[in-house]
């Protein structure tokens, strides 16, 4: 049944033009709950559109989160340009229009490991983005390599699946788990870098609200 839903979403909506002239040209990925399409805008620019069946999305709740996401402007957060509802043959979907990305960290790691400098840059970008979300009462459900995007020269976190969270909710544990997956360094060096970026002693316990990160200098 889940596979059937995904197939129906793809076959029914590919080639459809959404309100404001977002033409869904190419299916990118999806599952039983949502689908991503490459879209062409009326001015010829490209975008990525996420479709979610209204019944699976919580309707107004999802749109409210997307409207909040739309107002975010941070160099390390993927921009959401527009959102709304569309109907076709009795089916209603919610849609969100995002800036296109050039690559994901998961794809990059599949080609080769990161250098220490590259990994530190990714870590600092993630911490800065999570700090912005934390201040706005928003959070990622998880922080994984496929949630980290390259958009031009910027490293950005995906924003298509944000959820509401209490302002100030700690995220250091989430960052630690992510860093363990991408760090090319020894455990001792990894702990040192993580502490520098989060702004705490490497042997400290769980941390709450790290300050915005700067990329620490590479030590000889």
**Residue in 152, 144, 13 with CA at minimum distance from that of residue 91:** 13
pLDDT in tens, 96-123: 999 999 999 999 999 999 999 999 999 9
Whole-prediction pTM value?
0.85
Tell me the three-class secondary structure of 97-114, residue by residue: EECCCCEEHHHHHHHCCC
Beta bridge partners of 179: none
Residue 57's pLDDT is 62
pLDDT digits (tens, 9 = 90+) for 174-211: 999 999 999 999 999 999 999 999 885 444 444 444 44
The least confident of 69-78, 82-91, 122-131 is 82-91
Q: Chain centroid to CA 26: how far?
A: 20
């Amino acid at each position: 049944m889940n596979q059937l839903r995904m197939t129906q979403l793809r076959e029914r909506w590919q080639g459809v033009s959404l309100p404001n002239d977002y033409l869904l040209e190419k299916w990118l990925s999806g599952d039983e709950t949502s689908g991503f399409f490459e879209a062409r805008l009326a001015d010829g620019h490209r975008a990525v559109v996420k479709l979610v069946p209204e019944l699976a999305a919580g309707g107004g709740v999802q749109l409210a989160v997307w409207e909040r996401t739309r107002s975010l402007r941070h160099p390390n957060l993927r921009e959401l340009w527009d959102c709304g509802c569309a109907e076709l043959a009795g089916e209603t979907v919610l849609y969100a229009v995002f800036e296109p990305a050039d690559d994901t960290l998961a794809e990059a790691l599949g080609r080769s490991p990161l250098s220490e400098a590259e990994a530190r840059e990714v870590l600092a970008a993630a911490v800065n983005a999570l700090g912005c979300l934390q201040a706005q009462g928003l959070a990622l459900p998880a922080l994984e390599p496929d949630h980290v995007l390259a958009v031009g020269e910027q490293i950005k976190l995906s924003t298509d699946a944000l959820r509401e969270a209490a302002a100030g909710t700690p995220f250091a544990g989430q960052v630690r788990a992510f860093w363990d997956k991408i760090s090319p360094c020894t455990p001792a060096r990894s702990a040192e870098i993580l502490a520098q970026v989060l702004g705490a002693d490497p042997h400290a316990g769980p941390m709450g609200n790290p300050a915005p990160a700067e990329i620490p200098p590479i030590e000889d």
